[in-house]
């Protein structure tokens, strides 16, 4: 039997951990020996209000009741000062930061034409700028330590789209781009950066789901994936995982085979594009590419033409349309 994965001597910062998914991550990490900073500014679902200490305090109390170690923090992830103060509270209480779970979130759903700048900006500020504000001071400590585990929280709304959520979808997909680069910068310091797209019952989803499904959507069906990604055992970096109701899969950006058009230094025409539309759209043998350079190299080295096209009649010329 596998040894139980533990987080002894590790320190985790979990943003928005006063309720919902973040609270469950905090309780479960603490139950496996992790010291936890429970951050939550205690606002309403749309980010209004705030300044209530009780959600974070309650979770800290729960952790202490079960014999764990935790401190509360009420700072706002949406400002650089808030992010710095959140990480400082980990240093003050426990002397290090090994794990950051960027989980704090709000919703301001509106169809696009009703999406006022205020609603756009508020969602960007918490999800995207929040992850930047908190991760940056932590990353510097992780780099010195030579160890770090960072979690971004995306959403199916960002990965696939959801009506009425242009702000939220943009912020959530931006976190995937953030991960894509941070995984490269953290690579040689054993800093792993991964992204989870959760699906769970919380106040963010209670009015979206039918009640009978809602009951089966405990955050505990998501948290094992997040804890695994936070563990020393995790060798993955730069990956996206969907997790909900006990179902798990990996999502990825895939790139199809490239088609080369134009002759020498003569650029292709838009008719060339139209004529080759099917080939350009093909995802046959699609690949995952790890960084910009490998994507460039892959695009500039199209797959060998199919056998019959590769051996044209004598004097024949291979036209892209033949491939
Ligand atoms: P929740 O509303 O229960 O938890 C979010 C917490 O973040 C709240 O306790 C809130 O007070 C806190 N928070 C909000 N703004 C903050 C700020 N500026 N600074 C510090 N804390 C702040 O919601 P839930 O569902 O647990 O969401 C957690 C994360 O998972 C969010 O990022 C959300 O977008 C994401 N998510 C959730 C899904 C679900 O099915 N529940 C689906 C996809 C993504």
Task: Enter the pTM of the model.
Answer: 0.92
Q: Is 297 helix (H, G, I), strand (E, B) or coil?
A: helix
For the Cβ of 217 lying below 6 angstroms from any atom of ligand 1, the answer is no
By the 10 Å C-beta count (0-12 exposed, 13-18 middle, 19+ buried), 112 is classed as exposed
Catalytic residue of the set 25, 132, 160, 168: 168
Residue nearest ligand 1's atom 29 by CA: 103
Rounded distance, CA 308 to CA 323, Å? 9
101 closest CA partner among 136, 135, 77, 68:
135
Alpha-carbon separation of residue 148 from 32, 104, 105, 112, 235 (angstroms): 17, 19, 22, 38, 11
- Is the reported ipTM for this assembly greater than 0.90? yes
By the 10 Å C-beta count (0-12 exposed, 13-18 middle, 19+ buried), 296 is classed as exposed
Residue nearest ligand 1's atom 43 by CA: 155
For the Cβ of 21 lying below 6 angstroms from any atom of ligand 1, the answer is yes
Please give the domain boundaries of the chain with CATH numbers for all domains. Answer: 11-251 (3.40.50.720), 254-311+318-323 (no CATH)
**Does the annotation count 74 as an active-site position?**
no
96 closest CA partner among 9, 188, 6:
9
Per-residue pLDDT of the chain (323 residues; tens, 9 = 90+): 567 999 999 999 999 999 999 999 999 999 999 999 999 999 888 888 877 779 999 999 999 999 999 999 999 999 999 999 999 999 999 999 999 999 999 999 999 999 999 999 999 999 999 999 999 999 999 999 999 999 999 999 999 999 999 999 999 999 999 999 999 999 999 999 999 999 998 777 777 777 777 777 999 999 999 999 999 999 999 999 999 999 999 999 999 999 999 998 999 999 999 999 999 999 999 999 999 999 999 999 877 665 544 444 444 444 444 33
């Amino acid at each position: 039997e596998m040894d139980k994965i533990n987080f002894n001597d590790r320190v985790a910062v979990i943003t928005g951990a006063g309720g919902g998914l973040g609270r469950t991550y905090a309780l479960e990490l603490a139950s496996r020996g992790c010291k936890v900073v429970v951050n939550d500014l205690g606002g309403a679902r749309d980010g209004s209000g705030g300044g209530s200490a009780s959600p974070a305090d309650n979770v800290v109390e729960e952790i202490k009741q079960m014999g764990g170690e935790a401190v509360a923090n009420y700072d706002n992830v949406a400002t650089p000062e808030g992010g710095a103060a959140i990480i400082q509270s980990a240093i003050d209480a426990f002397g290090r930061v090994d794990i950051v779970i960027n989980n704090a979130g709000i919703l301001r759903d509106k169809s696009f034409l009703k999406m006022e700048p205020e609603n756009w900006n508020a969602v960007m500020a918490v999800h995207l700028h929040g992850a930047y504000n908190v991760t940056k001071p932590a990353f510097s400590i992780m780099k010195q330590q030579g160890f770090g585990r960072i979690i971004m929280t995306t959403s199916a709304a960002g990965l696939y789209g959801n009506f009425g959520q242009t702000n939220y979808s943009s912020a959530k997909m931006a976190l995937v781009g953030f991960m894509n680069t941070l995984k490269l910068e953290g690579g040689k310091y054993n800093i792993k950066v991964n992204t989870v797209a959760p699906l769970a019952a919380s106040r963010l989803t209670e009015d979206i789901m039918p009640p009978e499904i809602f009951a089966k959507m405990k955050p505990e069906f998501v948290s094992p994936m997040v804890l695994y990604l936070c563990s020393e055992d995790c060798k993955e970096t730069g990956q996206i995982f969907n997790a909900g109701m006990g179902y798990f899969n990996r999502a990825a950006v895939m790139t199809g085979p490239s088609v080369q058009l134009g002759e020498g230094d003569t650029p292709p025409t838009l008719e060339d594009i139209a004529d080759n539309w099917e080939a350009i759209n093909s995802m046959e043998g699609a690949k995952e590419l790890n960084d910009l350079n490998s994507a460039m190299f892959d695009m500039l080295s199209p797959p060998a033409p199919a056998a019959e096209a590769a051996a044209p009649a004598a004097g024949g010329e291979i036209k892209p349309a033949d491939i």
